[in-house]
Structures are given as C-alpha cells and as structure tokens.
Amino acid sequence: TEAGVDYTTDWVVDDLPVPIETKNGTLYSIPYSVETNDVVMSAIQTQPSSEIYDRVMNQFECFYEEGAEQPRILSVCSHPYLSGVPHRIKY
C-alpha cells in the first residue's frame, strides 16, 4: 500500500475480497480462480473445449445457491489466443 497499490489478484485465497492488513494500510485480495482459467484447462490440463463451459456453469450454479446467504465473485480468466479461436469460441 505504501507504493499506492490497493489490491492484488495474484493470491488465490477466497471467493470474496479479503482485506489484508499491512503496516502501511489495507491491501485487498480480489478473487481469482485457476479452476476457471482457460490457460490451465486448455494448455496445461489439455481438457476439451467443452470443459471450459462445464466448469464455469458448475461453479456459477454453486455460487448462485451460496449467493442467497452471502455474495460470491465468479472469476473467469479468458485469453483470446486460446478461447477466442474459431473451434472454441462457442464455449
């Protein structure tokens, strides 16, 4: 926070923003998910393109139910060079 940074998306710690107290102020961790990241699914795990849709929908349905009690943030990380290609664009 001393350098003017108020938040980070580098820590995969929760489905809600998490305040982290530092000696210079509060830093917030903004939700980020590797489970719904197209690099992880397509390039590392070599899952079929339909897996992107399935995982995002399954996570959405879970968060939708949980959202009745407490809000959730669904993080979907999509890269044009992977998900934006013609054979994956429908997912």
For residue range 25-66, what is the model confidence (pLDDT) as tens digits? 898 888 888 889 999 999 999 999 999 999 999 999 999 999
| Per-state percent for the chain, helix, strand, coil, to nearest 5 | 30, 15, 55
pTM value is 0.75
Side chain identity at residue 27, one-letter code: L
**Domain housing 46:** 34-91
Number of separate domains in the chain: 2
Q: What is the pLDDT of residue 8?
A: 76
Q: Show the tokens assigned to 19.
A: 């305040």
**What's the mean per-residue pLDDT of the chain?**
88
Whether 27 and 71 share a structural domain: no
Whether 70 and 88 share a structural domain: yes
